[in-house]
């Protein structure tokens, strides 16, 4: 064991970085041009259009923006933004309605693309269209 540790010491020393004591860093000649600045444009992820839910009874919700949804259901209980996506939650005695909004094209305003509904009492799934009808103003 001791021999293997002694064997590794020179290898570890070769990994050390920093100036060697007593040496000086090489300097650039005064006539050399300054280093060139390179600018890298920030990378943007490729846009992927979201899937849009197509379920009967949700025509009045799918495709609507946040303002239109608030006009239909009132102010959301939860309004979460993550990147360019949004989740709005509307609640009533009958059910909890989660609406997910995504931009349909790069830079576009998010619009409703997916809806999920559950009972407020126990969290079991309910019919989405029935929940939309129950929560409409």
Residue 85 counted as domain residue? yes
Q: Is the pTM of this model over 0.75?
A: no
CATH of residue 76: 3.30.1450
What does the longest C-alpha to C-alpha distance in the chain come to? 81
Residue 105 counted as domain residue? yes
Residue 130 counted as domain residue? yes
Residue 79 counted as domain residue? yes
pLDDT at 32: 47
Using alpha carbons only, give the angle 86, 89, 92 rounded to the nearest 5 degrees.
165
For residue 72, how far is the Cα from the chain centroid?
Answer: 27
Range of the domain at 119: 66-135
**Cα–Cα separations (whole angstroms), residue 79 to 48, 91, 92:** 23, 12, 16
pLDDT at 13: 53
Residue 37 counted as domain residue? no
Residue 18 counted as domain residue? no
- What is the CB neighbour count within 10 angstroms for residue 95? 23
**Cα–Cα separations (whole angstroms), residue 5 to 10, 13, 96:** 10, 12, 63
pLDDT at 105: 94
pLDDT at 89: 98
Element (H, E) at 113: strand 111-118
Residue 43 counted as domain residue? no
* Tens-digit pLDDT string for the chain (137 aa): 555 444 544 554 555 555 555 555 555 445 544 444 444 444 456 788 999 999 999 999 999 999 999 999 999 999 999 999 999 999 999 999 999 999 999 999 999 999 999 999 999 999 999 999 999 98
Q: How many domains does the chain have?
A: 1
Contacts of 10 (CB under 8 A, 6+ apart): none
Q: 3-class secondary structure for 14-41?
A: HHCCCCCCCCCCCCCCCCCCCCCCCCCC
């Amino acid at each position: 064991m001791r021999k293997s540790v002694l064997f590794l010491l020179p290898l570890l020393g070769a990994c050390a970085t920093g100036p060697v004591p007593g040496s000086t860093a090489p300097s650039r000649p005064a006539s050399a041009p300054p280093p060139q600045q390179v600018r890298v444009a920030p990378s943007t992820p490729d846009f992927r259009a979201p899937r849009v839910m197509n379920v009967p009874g949700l025509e009045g919700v799918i495709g609507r923006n946040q303002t239109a949804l608030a006009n239909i259901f009132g102010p959301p209980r939860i309004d979460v933004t993550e990147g360019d996506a949004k989740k709005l939650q509307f609640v009533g005695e009958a059910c909890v309605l989660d609406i997910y909004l995504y931009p349909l094209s790069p830079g576009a305003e998010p619009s409703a693309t997916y809806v999920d509904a559950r009972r407020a009492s126990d969290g079991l799934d309910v019919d989405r269209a029935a929940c939309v009808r129950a929560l409409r103003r």
